[in-house]
């Protein structure tokens, strides 16, 4: 079970970083969403993967599931949904204004030459 969760976090992180390095607005937004999903799964898994355990400690019971990561992930899901909606609206506004979703980098900020020029 831990191997599956760790693999899922790794794949989501790799996909999110790959998409964030693209020079288009919408893949960057999708990459941020994938990265936030990876962080949410990581935080949720840090609260102990326990099946059929109570979410709170009962008197005399030694094993339980920590409710704090569950509350943190629930809060993070709501915040990331709101931030994704804001980013999509900004990207749509930029697309309607410029006609493309390509991110332009000034020549002074670019490290390498553009081979298309």
How far apart, in whole angstroms, are the C-alpha atoms of residue 45 and residue 95? 38
Output the CA torsion sign for 42, 46, 43, 63. Answer: positive
**Average pLDDT of every residue of the chain:** 82
Query: Per residue in 49-78, pLDDT tens?
Result: 666 766 666 666 666 667 788 888 999 999
How far apart, in whole angstroms, are the C-alpha atoms of residue 82 and residue 14? 23
At residue 49, the pLDDT reads: 65
Domain that includes residue 20, residue range: 2-49+65-98
Q: 116 by DSSP, 3-state: which? A: coil
In a domain, 112, yes or no: no
110, two tokens:
């670019």
How far apart, in whole angstroms, are the C-alpha atoms of residue 114 and residue 35? 28
Higher pLDDT, 58 or 93: 93
At residue 76, the pLDDT reads: 92
Structural domains counted in the chain: 1
């Amino acid at each position: 079970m831990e191997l599956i969760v760790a693999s899922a976090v790794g794949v989501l992180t790799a996909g999110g970083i790959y998409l964030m390095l693209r020079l288009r607005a919408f893949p960057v937004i999708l990459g941020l969403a994938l990265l936030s999903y990876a962080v949410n799964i990581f935080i949720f898994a840090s609260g102990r993967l326990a099946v059929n355990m109570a979410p709170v400690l009962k008197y005399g019971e030694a094993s339980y599931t920590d409710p704090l990561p569950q509350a943190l992930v629930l809060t993070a899901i709501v915040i990331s949904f709101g931030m994704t909606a804001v980013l999509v609206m900004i990207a749509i506004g930029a697309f309607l204004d410029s006609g493309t979703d390509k991110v332009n980098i000034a020549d002074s900020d670019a490290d390498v030459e553009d081979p298309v020029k």
